[in-house]
Homo-oligomer: A and B are copies of this chain.
Amino acid sequence: MKDKKPKNVFIKGAITHEFIGNSIYKHQSKTSIGAHNIFLGQVRADKVDDKTVSAIEYTAYEDMANQKFHDIREATFNKFNLTCMHIYHSLGTVKAGEICLFVFVSAPHRKVVFDALEYVVEEIKAHVPVFGKEIFEDQSHQWKKNT
Contact = CB atoms under 8 A, between A and B. Distances in A.
Interface of A: 17-18, 20-22, 24-25, 27-45, 96-99, 106, 108-110, 113-114, 117-118, 121, 147
A130 B91 CA distance: 43
The A contact surface, by secondary structure, is mixed
| Listed residue (A36, A41, A96) with the most chain B CB atoms within 10 angstroms of its CB | A36
Q: How many copies does the complex hold?
A: 2
Given A37-B39, A39-B110, A40-B36, A31 B17 contact: no
Given A31-B44, A31-B96, A37-B40, 13 more contacts: A17-B22, A20-B21, A21-B24, A31-B97, A33-B42, A34-B42, A34-B43, A34-B44, A36-B42, A37-B117, A39-B110, A110-B121, A114-B114
